[in-house]
């Protein structure tokens, strides 16, 4: 049972990572766009205010941010496509259609029940429990909705794509049957989301009152929950009430009342008579870990990656940590380890919360919102007395070290499957087209030895009828079989390999860098018999 669960988690992690790999490139473009359009930077460098530069920067930022803002769509397509045993493109298309049906179901039911929320002039639908996705207003399940529905689509597809009917029912055979099932699954999922998710949202919102009256512990809880709830899309229910309502504080300026941490911070920063920022500033400190902590996380991932994967992990993660520091977007990194190593993510949330509490304990009232450059320039302009900003950077260095040391220790101690420590990373690199070529690896000389015994390999796997699917990562041929007892190691070993790993009905044959060629040869052979 344990092996099956671990195998399922490994496959799920691989499926989660594939859509995110593109953001290692996109994130760098987004970060450049954020820099070009940053008002603090353009104030210091007036030539950046030139209209063509501003337009270019805005295009670079917005065209990538729309992808980040629609991660649910990427997951609902990418997860089924990655987890499907065959016809992966059909699985991805069905995933997208299912998502559209789920959104529409949620919208129709909200409309029918008279429950569609009215957008706020300032915040839109933020804080209402609803959102607009692809132009459809629905209950806000954010990324979590795409992940759940993507998994449901993959599950249904793998069990129905090969279903065949005769006679008049023939048109419902194969992938069309999978789609038929998902029509009803999507409608049920949409209906349940309208019933269940608002209850979950209400529970999270109720914690706000506990947080506001609990001092440093409340700030810890605030930061902890904000990070912990990232994969559910409910994190905005934690910070929004504090940043944009009187829960985050009230500032009286004559006849004018300023409410919410964000408004108070912006006001106090521009008030020369304010000698020190009020405690409301701490509710803006969720940006602290985004600017600094992820540097330690990424450093730990790179440090603990297997030697053969370090270069590729660096190429993937460094642009993403730059995106985190400059644009405050952390989801691409978060989803790289949240399911593969959940214990690290819980620890991550705890560290994030701890350092918001430490900011208060050490009386650091520096501005931690926006990005690392905006934060620095804003605090520099406000002055040391008002913000105690030098101490912020002391805590920043400490946080980076804490993340690096703890993550490195736990990854090595428990052999956690973080980026670079399992074949999935190499597989993704191969999918991206950056895997070593035949000339680089010298695989051509071994190709004939590998492919010459494909028939023996198939027979050793129990024959064509015993093989459910074939996949490969960077070094391993992965085969899912119906009956593991039919395996014959002596026949499998006629193909040069470095070992056979058996995990229930999932068989991994360690081939090396020539594995893609062997997989193609196996699939071609299966088509001929």
> What's the CA angle centered on 22, arms 397 and 129, to 5 degrees?
75
Extract the tokens encoding 468.
């459910």
Which DSSP helix (H) or strand (E) runs through 471? strand 467-472
* Mean pLDDT score across all residues of the chain: 84
Between the alpha carbon of residue 151 and those of residues 95, 158, 185, 232, 265, the distances in Å are 9, 11, 12, 15, 42
Task: Tell me how far apart the alpha carbons of residues 37 and 383 are, in angstroms, rounded to a whole number.
Answer: 24
Q: What are phi and psi of 156, to 5 degrees?
A: -65, -45
- pLDDT tens per residue across all 529 residues of the chain: 555 665 566 666 666 666 666 766 777 787 788 778 877 677 778 888 899 999 998 898 888 888 877 888 988 998 898 888 888 899 999 999 999 999 999 999 999 999 998 887 777 787 788 889 889 999 988 788 888 999 999 999 999 998 888 877 778 888 999 999 999 999 999 999 999 988 888 887 777 778 887 889 999 999 999 999 887 767 777 887 788 777 788 887 666 677 788 888 888 877 878 888 999 999 999 999 999 999 999 999 999 998 888 988 898 899 889 989 988 888 889 988 888 899 999 999 999 999 999 999 999 999 987 678 888 888 888 889 999 999 999 999 999 999 999 999 999 999 998 988 865 444 444 444 444 444 444 444 444 556 678 989 999 999 999 999 888 776 788 898 999 999 999 999 988 887 898 888 889 898 876 787 888 889 888 888 8
The answer to whether 58 and 37 have CB atoms below 8 angstroms apart is yes
pLDDT of 204: 76
The segment(s) of the chain belonging to CATH 3.30.1360.60 are 436-528
Q: What is the pLDDT of residues 3-61, one digit of tens each?
A: 566 556 666 666 666 666 676 677 778 778 877 887 767 777 888 889 999 999 889 88
For residue 478, give every residue at least 6 positions away whose Cβ sits within 8 Å of its Cβ, in sequence order, or none.
470, 471, 472, 506, 507, 508
The answer to whether 393 and 347 have CB atoms below 8 angstroms apart is no
Task: Tell me how far apart the alpha carbons of residues 371 and 369 are, in angstroms, rounded to a whole number.
Answer: 6
pLDDT of 442: 45
Extract the tokens encoding 469.
């699917």
What is the secondary structure of 16-30 as a DSSP string? HHHHHTTHHHHHHHH
pLDDT of 87: 86
For residue 339, give every residue at least 6 positions away whose Cβ sits within 8 Å of its Cβ, in sequence order, or none.
9, 12, 13, 16
Write the secondary structure of 159-184 as one string of H (helix), E (strand) and C (coil).
HHCCCCCCHHHHHHCCHHHHHHHHHH
Extract the tokens encoding 502.
């058996």
For residue 273, give every residue at least 6 positions away whose Cβ sits within 8 Å of its Cβ, in sequence order, or none.
none
Q: Which one, of 209, 201, 287, lies nearest residue 242 by Cα? A: 209
b/e burial code for range 453-479 (CB count within 10 A of at least 16 → b): bbebbbbbbbeeebbeebbbbbbbbbb
Report pTM. Answer: 0.67
Q: Note the CATH number of domain 436-528.
A: 3.30.1360.60
pLDDT of 438: 43
pLDDT of 448: 53
The answer to whether 17 and 428 have CB atoms below 8 angstroms apart is yes
Residue 273: CB atoms within 10 A of its CB come to: 5
Dihedral Cα 251, 257, 368, 313, nearest 10 deg: 140
Catalytic (active-site) positions: 473
pLDDT of 15: 67
Task: Tell me how far apart the alpha carbons of residues 432 and 50 are, in angstroms, rounded to a whole number.
Answer: 36
């Amino acid at each position: 049972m344990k092996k099956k669960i671990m195998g399922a988690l490994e496959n799920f992690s691989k499926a989660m990572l594939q859509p995110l790999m593109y953001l290692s490139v996109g994130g760098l473009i987004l970060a450049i766009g954020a820099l070009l359009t940053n008002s603090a930077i353009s104030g210091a460098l007036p030539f950046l205010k030139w209209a063509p530069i501003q337009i270019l920067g805005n295009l670079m930022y917005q065209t990538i941010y729309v992808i980040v803002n629609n991660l649910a769509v990427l997951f609902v397509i990418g997860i089924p496509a990655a987890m499907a045993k065959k016809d992966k493109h059909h699985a991805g298309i069905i995933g997208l259609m299912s998502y559209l049906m789920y959104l529409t179901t949620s919208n129709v039911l909200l409309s029918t029940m008279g429950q569609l929320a009215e957008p706020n002039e300032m915040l839109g639908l933020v804080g209402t429990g609803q959102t607009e996705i692809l132009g459809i207003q629905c209950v806000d399940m954010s990324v979590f909705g795409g992940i759940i529905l993507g998994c449901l689509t993959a599950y249904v597809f793998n069990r129905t794509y090969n279903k065949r009917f005769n006679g008049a029912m023939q048109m419902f055979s194969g992938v069309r049957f999978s789609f038929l099932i998902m029509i009803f699954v999507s409608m049920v999922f949409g209906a349940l989301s309208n019933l269940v998710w608002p209850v979950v949202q209400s529970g999270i919102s109720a914690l706000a009152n506990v947080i506001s009256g609990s001092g440093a512990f409340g700030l810890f809880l605030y930061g902890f929950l904000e990070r912990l709830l990232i994969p559910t899309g409910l994190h905005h229910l934690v910070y929004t009430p504090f940043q944009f309502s009187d829960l985050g504080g009230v500032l009286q300026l004559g006849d004018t009342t300023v409410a919410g941490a964000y408004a108070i911070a912006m006001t106090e920063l521009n008030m020369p008579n304010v000698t020190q920022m009020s405690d409301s500033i701490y509710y803006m400190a969720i940006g602290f870990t985004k600017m600094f902590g992820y540097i330690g996380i990424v450093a730990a991932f790179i440090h603990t990656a297997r030697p053969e994967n370090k270069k590729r992990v660096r190429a993937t993660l460094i642009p993403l940590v730059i995106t985190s520091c400059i644009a405050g977007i952390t989801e691409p990194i978060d989803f790289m380890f949240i399911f593969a190593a959940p214990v690290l993510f819980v620890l991550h949330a705890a560290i994030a919360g701890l350092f918001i509490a430490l900011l208060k304990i050490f009386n650091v009232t520096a501005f931690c919102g926006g990005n690392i450059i905006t934060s620095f320039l804003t605090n520099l302009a406000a002055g040391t007395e008002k913000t105690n900003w030098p101490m912020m950077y002391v805590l920043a260095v400490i946080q980076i070290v804490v993340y690096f040391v703890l993550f490195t220790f736990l990854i090595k101690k428990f052999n956690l499957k973080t980026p670079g420590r399992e074949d999935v990373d190499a597989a993704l690199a191969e999918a991206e087209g950056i895997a070593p070529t035949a000339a680089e690896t010298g695989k051509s000389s071994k190709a004939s030895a590998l492919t010459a015994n494909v028939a023996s390999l198939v027979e050793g796997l129990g024959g064509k009828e015993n093989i459910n699917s074939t996949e490969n990562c960077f070094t391993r041929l992965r085969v899912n079989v119906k009956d593991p007892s039919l395996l014959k190691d002596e026949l499998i070993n006629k193909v040069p390999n470095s070992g056979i790993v058996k995990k229930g009905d999932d068989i991994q044959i360690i081939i090396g860098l020539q594995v893609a060629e062997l997989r193609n040869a196996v699939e071609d052979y299966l088509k001929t018999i």
